[in-house]
Each structure stands twice: as C-alpha cells, then as structure tokens.
A and B are shown apart, each in its own frame.
Chain A
Amino acid sequence: MGLLTNLKDSISRVTDGLFAADEPKRIGIYGPPNAGKTTLANRIARDWTGDAVGPESHIPHETRRARRKENVEIERDGRKVTIDIVDTPGVTTKVDYKEFLDHDMEKDDAVRRSREATEGVAEAMHWLREDVDGVIYVLDSSTDPFTQVNTMLIGIIESQDLPALILANKTDLPGSDVQQIANAFPQHETIPLSALEGENMDEVYTKIAEYFG
C-alpha cells in the first residue's frame, strides 16, 4: 500500500508540475501614479483580447484596485505566451486628499478617492510580495526617475528575484528622456514606448514573450 501511495504521490507531483508550467504567469504592471500603467494594460488587452482593463485618467490614482485581465495570449515568432495582466494602483508613500481638490473635485469625493487610493497601494504591495510572477515596471520618461519610490520598488522586485521589464513610457511627450531611465536602472533593460500612441509595441511584446514566456 505504502509503495502504491508513494507512486501515486510521485505521479501527482509530476503532473502538477506539468500543469503549473502551462498556467498563465501573473504579470503585475507597477510604477508610480500617472506613469501610464492602465493605458499600457488596456493597450495590451485590446491588442490581444479586444477588451480593456479599466478606465484611464490624467488624475492621479484613477486605478484604486488591482485589476486582472486573465489569459492574455501573446504570440511572438511562432511562440505563444499566456499571461494574466494585473494592473495595479500607482505606488506612493503619501496620499493627501487636498491634491485632488486641484482637479475640480468636491472635498467628500477627494477624501473618498484618497481613502480608496491608500487601500489600493496597500493591496498593490501585497500583490507584489505574494501574488505576481513577474513585473512590468512603467515609468513616465518625461519625469525624473531618480525617486525614492522607484528605487525602493525596484529593490523590492530584485529582492524577490522576479523577472522585471522596465518600460520608458510617454515617448510621445516633448520632454521624454529614455536615456535618463536607462541610467537610473542600468542593471535592467529599458524599452521605450508610447502606450497611448501604440509606438514600439512590437518590441514590448517581443520582450514580454522573452522575459515571461
């Protein structure tokens, strides 16, 4: 009986491993607020599934809950990669509702938005520690990448040995400086793109297949 049980367990472990290898990888889209994470998530989802992930906005913290788009199949060079895209709220160490008042928001709405934003950031950090298999880190290439949040998040991602792809987004903006991002994180490859305009998405998909396939 013992031998049979051991054999059954061994077979079960092997088959579990085979199925696990076929399961979609959960890829978290991380970055500071307003880097274009949801625009990118929507671009990827629309290109490969026809659906969007969530609403986009120029107001910070539009995404206040992690949203998952499952089974996004990306084909590159005859290879098929299946991922779950997890669009996460922009990570920050501070949220002040008064900043939302500048966007023509009533105080009650601003307070509610800030509360939801703080919950969203906490949730995003939890996902990063527990529930993602890889990270697409999105930065606005027209802003300074040498921020503490970026440094900390890249450090957290590296400490977990997660594969990470750094995207220098918003190359359509006049102040875009991709090299500045490459200089900030020389240990990682930096891919330029405009998620809004759909520029250089071919290279982004090739890298997604390479990093997360």
Chain B
Amino acid sequence: MPGPTPNVDGGASSDDSDDDGVRIDMISGARMEGLTGMEKIRLILDGVREGNIVILEEGLSPDEESKLIEVTMTEISPDDFTGIEIETYPKAEASNQSFLDKLMGRNSAQKLTVIGPANRIETLHKDENLISTLVSRK
C-alpha cells in the first residue's frame, strides 16, 4: 500500500484518515505568518473539508475570523459539508489589546485555535485553560 502523498500545503494526503483515524494538522505561527488572509482561510478550509482537524498555534485575527465564517458559509452544501466547529481559549488579552498594539498592527490576542468539520467535532468543555473536544470518525 503506498504511503501518504504530499498535497499542496506540504502535508500528507487525507486518504489515510478515511478509515483508520482522524488526521490532525498542527500549523505553527511561523507557517501562517507569510500567508495572506485568504491563503490562511484556504489552508484551513481545504484541510477541514477533507475531514481533518486543524490546530493553529496562533489563531486568526478578528478580520480573518470574520472572513472565515463568510467563506465557510459559501461552501456549505447539503449532505456534503455542513460547516465548521471552531474553538479558541477565551483569552483576556483578546479584549485588552493596547492602543499601541492596534496602532502598530500587533496582534496580542494570538490564541491556540482548533477547527474541524462541524459533523465530526464536538466541544465537551471549554474554559480559559482547557478545550476538551470529542472527535468522531466519518
């Protein structure tokens, strides 16, 4: 049986997650840093639509989150893709970003973010320190 083949984002093909398990892509902040907002959204949604769980080390900006919701909505189709489940730590810093940070475009609200297909991921518990999710196979 051939091994997983690299896809466009450099990861393994999701073929291996169809029957045996669930693939998790943990994407570092460094990898996301050079991407445009739309490239980030594409990277996330392409992975999630293949049934993968995507974990972002540093999350998305509010504007990117807004666009992620918008693009997700345009891709929902009956009996195929019902949308995404997304969870982040409710970090206090998210709302306490300083004026200087905003002015300089610095995002002090960077937060670990878990995103998965809505029909496969269910949040069991979430607080400031813990996100507990149940991931089911297809």
Structural contact, B66 and A114, CB atoms closer than 8 A: no
Interface size on B, residues (CB 8 A): 28
Nearest CB of B to A146, in Å: 7
- B69's partner among A114, A115, A151, A152 (CB-CB below 8 A) is A152
B7 within 8 A of A: no
Instruction: Report B-chain residues with C-beta under 8 Å of the C-beta of A128.
Output: 66
B74 within 8 A of A: yes
Structural contact, A96 and B82, CB atoms closer than 8 A: yes
Q: How far is the CA of A118 from the CA of B63 in the complex (A)?
A: 19
Instruction: Report B-chain residues with C-beta under 8 Å of the C-beta of A152.
Output: 62, 65-66, 69, 86, 88
Instruction: Report B-chain residues with C-beta under 8 Å of the C-beta of A115.
Output: 78
In the complex, residue of chain B having the shortest beta-carbon distance to the beta carbon of A185: B95
A176 within 8 A of B: no
Q: How far is the CA of A128 from the CA of B95 in the complex (A)?
A: 18
B58 within 8 A of A: no
Nearest CB of A to B60, in Å: 9
Structural contact, A118 and B95, CB atoms closer than 8 A: no
- B78's partner among A111, A121, A125, A126 (CB-CB below 8 A) is A111
Which residues of B does A touch, CB under 8 Å?
Answer: 61-63, 65-67, 69-70, 72-74, 76, 78, 82-88, 90, 94-95, 109, 118-119, 123, 126
Q: DSSP class of B's interface residues: helix, strand, loop or mixed? A: mixed
- Cβ contacts A126-155/B at 8 Å (1 or 0 each): 101100000000000000001010011011
Structural contact, B73 and A119, CB atoms closer than 8 A: yes
Instruction: Report A-chain residues with C-beta under 8 Å of the C-beta of B86.
Output: 93, 148, 152
Q: How far is the CA of A129 from the CA of B72 in the complex (A)?
A: 16
In the complex, residue of chain A having the shortest beta-carbon distance to the beta carbon of B82: A96
Task: Known contacts A93-B72, A122-B74, A148-B86; decide if A156 and B66 are in contact (CB<8 Å).
Answer: yes
Instruction: Report A-chain residues with C-beta under 8 Å of the C-beta of B82.
Output: 94-96
Structural contact, A121 and B62, CB atoms closer than 8 A: no
Nearest CB of A to B56, in Å: 14
Structural contact, A96 and B83, CB atoms closer than 8 A: yes
Instruction: Please list the 3 inter-chain residue pairs (A to B) with the smallest Cβ-Cβ separation, ordered nearest first.
Output: A94-B83, A94-B118, A159-B62
- A94's partner among B85, B87, B90, B95 (CB-CB below 8 A) is B85
In the complex, residue of chain B having the shortest beta-carbon distance to the beta carbon of A94: B83
Structural contact, B109 and A155, CB atoms closer than 8 A: yes
A158 within 8 A of B: yes
Instruction: Report A-chain residues with C-beta under 8 Å of the C-beta of B94.
Output: 151, 155
Structural contact, B83 and A93, CB atoms closer than 8 A: yes
A5 within 8 A of B: no
Instruction: Report A-chain residues with C-beta under 8 Å of the C-beta of B72.
Output: 93-94
17 A-B pairs whose Cβ atoms sit less than 8 Å apart in the complex: A91-B69, A93-B83, A94-B82, A95-B73, A96-B119, A111-B78, A118-B74, A125-B69, A125-B70, A125-B73, A129-B66, A148-B86, A151-B88, A151-B90, A152-B86, A158-B62, A159-B62
